Amino acid sequence: MSAKPKLYYFDGRGKMESIRWLLAAAGVEFEEEFLETQDQYEKLLQGGSLLFQQVPMVEMDGMRMVQTRAILSYIAAKYNLYGKDLKERALIDMYVGGTDDLMGFILLFPFLSAEDKEKQRALIVQKATSRYFPVYEKVLKDHGQDFLVGNKFSWADVHLLEAILMVEEKKSDVLSGFPQLQAFKARISSIPAIKKFLEPGSQRKPVPDDKYVETVRRVLCMYYDVKAN
């Protein structure tokens, strides 16, 4: 295995993007192998690399890890982004879980029909502004600290910034009613490792396009229609 973590996924965001974000936040360089054909995927399956027959898969520290949450938890713990004790870890898990729920609405978006995309866009903004962002706005306001948990940069902060930027791609002024989150976004974006990842030429992936959708469908043999929530 490579000394650097090696990521196996499509050349696009999907569930791997949060893993890219967290590795970048930890200052860890990584390599990627992009799945472009069904044969590549079948080779991983036949080789026993995909424990549950799914990607993302990450080769790291002598392991082949699958299941996105398990991979992220490992990276967060390894690079001291997971709180100082069990209570802080529980808070991080709660905040990450909520952010994951919001991201789920966004991950579905590229695979929808044009009509369903407009419905989903409205749903994403509605969920963000009425259910998820108010939680983080209140947390930041109540404790008056720079970060979500323990006044220290953590996985929860990385995940929330990723989600904020994803929602802003659907509605650019979505944070207009959330001054704490506006300041949070500016703070976290200015952290050197994050700032570097946000710059052009990094391994951060762009908004999923039709080519990405077609590649995923081709590799995974997805020929069914995806419906909006």
Confidence of residue 224 (pLDDT cuts 50, 70, 90): very low
Contact 108, 229 (CB under 8 A): yes
Query: What pTM, to 2 d.p., does this model score?
Result: 0.94
Confidence of residue 222 (pLDDT cuts 50, 70, 90): low
Q: Convert the pLDDT of each residue in 66-92 to its tens digit.
A: 999 999 999 999 999 999 999 999 999
Provide the residue type at 188 as one letter: I
> Distance (Å, rounded) from C-alpha 71 to C-alpha 8?
12
Question: Which residues on adjacent β-strands are paired with residue 6?
Answer: 31, 59
The answer to whether residue 223 scores a pLDDT higher than 60 is: no
Which long-range CB contacts under 8 A does 89-93 form with residues at least 24 apart?
91/148, 91/149, 91/156, 92/148, 92/149, 92/154, 92/155, 92/156
> Distance (Å, rounded) from C-alpha 26 to C-alpha 133?
25
> Distance (Å, rounded) from C-alpha 117 to C-alpha 131?
20
The answer to whether residue 228 scores a pLDDT higher than 50 is: no
> Distance (Å, rounded) from C-alpha 36 to C-alpha 30?
19
Domains of the chain: 6-79+198-220 (3.40.30.10), 86-191 (1.20.1050.10)
Structure confidence at residue 3 (pLDDT) = 86
Q: Convert the pLDDT of each residue in 94-152 to its tens digit.
A: 999 999 999 999 999 999 999 999 999 999 999 999 999 999 999 999 999 999 999 99
Half-sphere exposure of 100 (CA within 13 A, CB side): 15
* ω into 208 cis (within 30 of 0): no
Q: Provide the mean pLDDT of the chain.
A: 94
Provide the residue type at 37 as one letter: T
Query: How many residues would you count in the chain?
Result: 229
For the residues 185-205, what does the mean pLDDT come to? 97
Structure confidence at residue 159 (pLDDT) = 98
The answer to whether residue 226 scores a pLDDT higher than 90 is: no
